[in-house]
Structure 1
């Protein structure tokens, strides 16, 4: 998964768990392509909506927590 998301091994050292969060209606939260202005990008960043490992990606604004 790390490779598919374009996460460098050195950036994920010691972190063992990963989570998938499903967001109902992401288009309700300013659904858009990522840009290099976002925090967390690295040298592998490609501004086309696909991570360097080939996985499609978008960003959304903060989504309210609902239990």
Structure 2
């Protein structure tokens, strides 16, 4: 998975996590649903961290194109 794909996946997972948390809040404060959304949001950080460990982050590719 290249850097831009991982970052896009991270943003997508972050959005899903927010929507799950909001769903839990609007269904009467279901702690289990809110917790699941929080876990999804924490796991979405991997979309931003994976490119850093692979050494091909989006900014490095942009800098090399100049």
TM-score normalised over the length of structure 2 = 0.20
Radius of gyration: which is bigger? 2
TM-score normalised over the length of structure 1 = 0.20
Greater helix fraction, Structure 1 or Structure 2? 2
